[in-house]
Amino acid sequence: MWKTLVDRLLGGLVVTGRLTIKYPDGDSRDYGPDTSPHETLTLHDPAILRQIVLNPELAMGEGYMQARITIEDDRLEEVLKLLVHNRMAGQMPLWVRGLDRALYHARLFLQRNAPAAARRNVAHHYDISDDLYRLFLDEDMQYSCAYFERPGMSLEDAQEAKKHHIARKLLLEPGMRVLDIGCGWGGMALTLARDYGVHVTGVTLSENQLATARRRAQEAGLSDRAQFELRDYRRIDGSFDRIVSIGMFEHVGVPNYAAYFSKIDSLLAPEGVALIHTIGRSAPPMAHSPWIHKYIFPGGYVPSLSEIAPALEGSGLWQSDIEMLRLHYAMTLRAWRDRFDAAQADIRAMYDETFVRMFRYYLTACIIGFEDQHQLVYQLQLAKTLAAVPLTRNYLYPNKAASWKQAAE
């Protein structure tokens, strides 16, 4: 029965390219027109058939990481692109579409992310080992989208460019008090304290990141200007001239958006400015990946702008600028995956083959999300007052502004 249902599912799904499935009983079947690309999957475990029928996206990820599904020549990216393109073009069975709708509506329950749950969710991904992340991130351990402002930039240069692009949007002045919500391993906070003369308070829910950030601040001689705390954003008090949050909003959860922006509004000083850097979706909302939710980011979610806007509009904050970074994260992820692949022997020694396959699947799936599934990065610049930010973006590009002035003269 399960093989028949898998056959029916794939028969309706694959309408472009060709997918060959080698079933556990030795049978081999082709799906889709006889056109390129042509990819081949082998299903080794009869139990995977039932899982594919009930939850195809979860089953594909689990099957790959557990080697119950293997791919000819390990062409993981090509297979996932073929499946994604066909999912957008083909016709999924009624029961799969029903599951997608159920998962979409369940997000209001799954993403409640109360403080205790938020801390568990962060620990699931970020507290596994700093040594793992050192193997594929840049030296500053920036675990978010880099900014490739010029062709051919290295990952290190692009991450440095990202930090300073954000710093310019914050319109910093020496002595300002800055809050970094979701400070990671401290790279952004230390850069702002060192290069811009501000006082930064960084908060995180990861004990590993907290220890590393504090150690880095001490080693850099910046402990007096960069302090780090283990604290939920909902439990922060005080007043800050600037607030920055990079790659943390994805963990807030749709039910908490109004509280999040209200908190930022309450923490900002009268002339304050905030910059929220977050993954987003330039298309209507959709269900979060059940595989990503289970294995990588429990409680996480990639919102559409239409989901952010109501809470933002109700906060009282001015939307002074919204910039969309397209493909920058795909380029970042490709650099991470190249480094991850180069370090696979070290990672296997730390974990096992299942972990390696899981993490590589995660990086590859995310690349496809940004190249083929309408994902991008939003930088939301928010201000307490109408005049807190210049009227044009010229202040972000001082060298270009100077060249334009010279040309005019």
Q: Which residues are catalytic?
A: 366
Helices (runs of H) and strands (runs of E) counted in the chain: 17, 11
Show contacts of 293-298: CB within 8 Å, 24+ apart: 293/110, 294/58, 295/61, 295/65, 295/358, 295/362, 296/125, 296/362, 297/121, 297/124, 297/125, 297/250, 297/251, 298/120, 298/121, 298/124
Burial class (CB in 10 A: 0-12, 13-18, 19+), 50: middle
What gap in Å lies between CA 201 and CA 220, rounded to an integer?
A: 16
Which residues touch 91 (CB under 8 Å, ≥6 apart)? 12, 13, 15
The sheet with strand 268-281 has its strands ordered as: 226-230, 199-204, 177-181, 240-246, 268-281, 375-383, 318-325
CA distances (Å), origin 7, targets 27, 67, 360: 12, 21, 28
What gap in Å lies between CA 10 and CA 83, rounded to an integer?
A: 10
Helix axes of 115-126 and 207-219: crossing angle, nearest 10 degrees: 70
* Token pair in block for residue 26: 């030795």
Nearest CA to 290 out of 301, 306, 305 is that of: 301
Single-letter amino acid, residue 83: L
Burial state string for 162-199 with b = 16 or more CB within 10 A and e = fewer than 16: bbebbbbbbbbeeebbbbbbbbbbbbbbbbbbbebebb
Which residues touch 123 (CB under 8 Å, ≥6 apart)? 205, 206, 207
Give the β-pairing of 375-383 and 268-281.
antiparallel
Question: Which position has the token pair 């689990």?
Answer: 62
Question: Which position has the token pair 């249902």?
Answer: 5
